[in-house]
Amino acid sequence: MENITLTAIEDINLTFQTDLYKYNEILNAGFILHGHICPAMPLGLRAALEALSRLGIPRARNKELHLIVENGPAHAALCFAEGVQLGTSATFGKDMVTRTNEGKSAFTLIDKKTGRSIRVSMNYDFFDNTMKSEFVNKRREGLEPHEIDQRLPKQMIQNMLDTPIDNLLKFDEIKILDFPKINYTFNYYQCTSCQEPVYEPGIRVLDGEYVCINCSK
Ligand SMILES: [Zn+2]
Ligand SMILES: [Zn+2]
């Protein structure tokens, strides 16, 4: 089985391998972040790495990228978006993710510097087969991912890794999107009421005093 070393992640010495059972640092990091072993997170990871590769750009070091994630609300396999964050390093924590709640396992990855973007969505037949799998049936019955025989998700992940990516996902043409420039501030104050540190965008003026949003109510 061929190992895929993606140029996008060589920078930080991570390799994504197509054999689940070989040492696979980025996938393991994903399972640690994610909390359980499931097929949707690794699929998001693979989708993200391919999207980076098609855009010809590396994973984010800081805030160079933005993700528009169409997942949610309240459906199965929200885990997909977790793998997309892991693959791109465009994370919730760095304010690089917008969730549109359109009920699709799909996302657009934007290179903020150039505006070049690619949208990735799910191949319907692959999606349909996955949703009829034993693993998903057990989830439907109410079992949590970690309560299901772990051989099931692991086999699904390996099958997914063995499948050509175009049978799993649809990659749209690269488009230019205008992404608003945001200046992130280092300026902060101490709230005169609760004494907590608060960055400038969270400061309100109440009776001439600088207070946080919560203390301003
Ligand atoms: Zn999951
Ligand atoms: Zn306060």
- Beta bridge partner(s), residue 188: 199
pLDDT for residue 3: 57
The Cα 49–Cα 131 span in angstroms is 23
Give me ligand 1 centre to Cα 108, in Å.
20
The ligand minimizing its distance to the Cα of 214 is: 2
Q: Ligand 2 mean position to 76 CA, how many Å?
A: 38
* pLDDT for residue 6: 47
First vs last C-alpha separation in the chain: 60
| Structural domains present in the chain | 3-176 (3.30.1330.130), 186-217 (3.30.60)
Measured from the alpha carbon of residue 81, the closest ligand is 1
Q: Which residues contact 147 (CB under 8 A, 6 or more apart)?
A: none
pLDDT tens per residue across all 217 residues of the chain: 455 444 444 444 456 777 777 778 888 888 999 999 999 999 999 999 999 999 999 889 899 999 999 999 989 889 999 999 999 999 999 999 999 999 999 999 999 999 999 999 999 999 999 999 999 999 999 999 999 998 999 999 999 989 999 999 999 999 999 888 889 999 999 999 999 999 999 999 999 999 999 999 9
Which ligand does the CA of 78 lie closest to?
1
β strands within the chain, DSSP E: 3-4, 16-17, 65-69, 97-99, 107-111, 116-122, 169-171, 175-176, 188-190, 197-199, 203-206, 209-212
- Rounded to a whole number of angstroms, the CA Rg of the chain reads 20
Residue 97, SS3 per DSSP: strand
Measured in angstroms, how far is the CA atom of residue 38 from the centroid of ligand 1? 5
Distance 35 CA to ligand 1 centre (A): 8
CA dihedral 66, 70, 72, 73 (to 10 degrees): 100
